[in-house]
Amino acid sequence: MAENNTHIHLQFSHSVYSVAELIHVFQLCNTRIQALYENSSENFKSLSIATRNYYKQVHAIHELLGEAATDINSVQMLPIKEAKESLLHMSNIITVIQFDDIVRQKLEHIQQTINEIIEELLLIQQNACVTHEKEIKYVSILSEITKLHAAQLEQTNQDYQNAFAGIKANLKGVQVNSNYIDEKVTLLAQQEVAETKAKLANASALTKQLIRQITHLLTEITSCNAFSSEVEAINTQLQKIFTGKVSGIKTDTHKEVLAQLQNLYTMESERAIHRKVLEAEASSSENQVTENNQDSSDDNLELF
């Protein structure tokens, strides 16, 4: 079968996509998902370096305040509690940054299935799907898979946004504490003896530097917006394949294929999305079964 005569009809859209065009759509999605992760990873890496540097600065401030408190024999006079709170904020950020690995795993699971789809489409393009020992399975449920992928991407984006919201909140907590520490230390430094004054002056200098750095970082954190925009662009591509089914090729049962797909997931959050989407699909199918039976030919993606 010549490639030029191999087409898939998309339900409701009145558009015809050749297998080659579908391959292009999925290759484009894969490329964008890879770029999405690489950019995300780079952002997390830069943030991790900055955060660990800030942690060291906050720790140094805390140590200097502790030494000054020993000199004047008064912990209450110094903002040590705020310095401890800032250390906790920085620890929280370091923990959240590990979310980068979760993003990687979730995107890799989507890419793995897309690679399988591309391989199957290449077989169909070469008219080898009948004789090749590997059965066509994922292409037979493109609608379900693209909806699942879109849902997984949406949830990953939501988790990503929540992660950065947490990072920003903790940075602002450090910022507020640092402003208070600087104000308090500057005032106390004017009243103490030379040795203690030097420690307070060092703490003040480190605090001022930290405030400038965090203020700048907060204005620079925009990667969460870019991540969201790119997910939306990828899902726009996937939505082209949202409707219809493929007929006329050898397939496993849909339930078996979907069960195999679910086994790829390593996180309960992914499995929860999988169940939610399929339950919604099952409910929608039940509501439309009469309509679909009346015009079954229009409801299919046909290879010819």
DSSP 155-208: HHHHHHHHHHHHHHHHHHHHHHHHHHHHHHHHHHHTTS-HHHHHHHHHHHHHHH
Q: Specify the pLDDT at position 136.
A: 74
Q: pLDDT tens digits for 252-270?
A: 567 788 888 888 888 999 9
Domain that holds residue 216: 3-130+153-228
Does the residue 34 lie in any domain?
Answer: yes
Residue 298 gets which letter from DSSP?
G
Residue at 139 is within a domain: no
Show the tokens assigned to 78.
């110094």
Distance (Å, rounded) from C-alpha 26 to C-alpha 261? 17
Domain membership of residue 244 (yes or no) is no
Does residue 275 form part of some domain?
no
Nearest to 141 by CA among 149, 131, 133: 149
Contact (CB, 8 A) for 117 and 146: no
Rounded CA-CA distance 63/117 in Å is 57
Torsion of CA 262, 263, 267, 268, to 10 degrees: 60
For residue 65, tell me if it sits in a domain. yes
Phi-psi region of 6 (alpha: psi -120 to 50; beta: other; left: phi over 0): beta
Cα(61)–Cα(256) distance, integer angstroms: 59
Report if residue 241 sits inside a domain.
no
Among the residue ranges 63-72, 87-96, 99-108, 147-156, the one predicted with the least confidence is 63-72
Structural domain count of the chain:
1
| Residue 15, CA distances (Å) to 111, 241, 304 in order | 26, 11, 14
What is the mean predicted confidence (pLDDT) over 55-71? 91
At 16, which amino acid appears? V
Nearest partner of 147 among 286, 4, 245, judged by Cα: 245
Q: State if pTM tops 0.85.
A: no
- Please identify which residue in the block is written with the tokens 């490329």: 31
Work out the angle between the directed axes of helices 142-189 and 19-72 (0-180°, nearest 10). 20
What's the pLDDT at 96? Answer: 92
Higher pLDDT, 147 or 1: 147
Sign of the dihedral through C-alpha 147, 148, 153, 156: positive
Position 143, amino acid: S
Whole-number Å distance between alpha carbons of 81 and 292: 66
Q: For residues 12 and 243, is the Cβ–Cβ distance under 8 A?
A: yes
Can you list the positions of beta strands (E) in 174-294? 245-247
Domain assignment present for residue 298? The answer is no
Query: Residue 303 falls within a domain, yes or no?
Result: no
pLDDT in tens, 142-198: 888 899 999 999 999 999 999 999 999 999 999 999 999 999 988 887 776 677 888
Residue 4 has pLDDT above 50, yes or no: no
